[in-house]
Amino acid sequence: MLEYAIGIFLVAAVGGLIMALMIFKGKMAPWALSLLHMLLGATGLVLAGIAAMTVGGGVLVMGLIVLLGAAVGGFYLASIHLDKEIAPRPAVVVHGMVAVAGVVLLLIALFAGT
């Protein structure tokens, strides 16, 4: 289950990177890409949550908590997008860095066998 969550997060990260590059160029990201990114992130969170409940492990739970923090940042960015404004670059960078940190923790948990 954890492997699927990580794979889904990696696909979501590609979409997130594309959106971030657009934002850094001063363009709005397409809604379809935003929604796909959100759906993939939510799916990854559910799968990581299931893995945390079935397998357990401190690093896995910590990764899930960090990714929940990234999701909160994502909701903030989506609210800006709803207002048809371009998100502030620092918020985009922080969202991405927190998400990457969460996925790295999931990878550590996977390779540690927890």
* Tens digits of pLDDT across the chain (114 residues): 999 999 999 999 999 999 999 999 999 999 999 999 999 999 999 999 999 999 878 999 999 999 999 999 999 999 999 999 999 999 999 999 999 999 999 999 999 976
Q: How many CB atoms lie within 10 A of CB 105?
A: 21
What is the maximum alpha-carbon separation in the chain? 44
pTM of the model: 0.92
Give the total number of structural domains in the chain: 1
For position 114, what pLDDT does the model report?
61
**Which residue range forms the structural domain that includes residue 85?**
2-112
Task: Note the residue count of the chain.
Answer: 114
For position 29, what pLDDT does the model report?
92
DSSP 6: H
CA gap 62, 79 in Å, rounded: 26
CA gap 114, 106 in Å, rounded: 10
Q: How many CB atoms lie within 10 A of CB 13?
A: 19
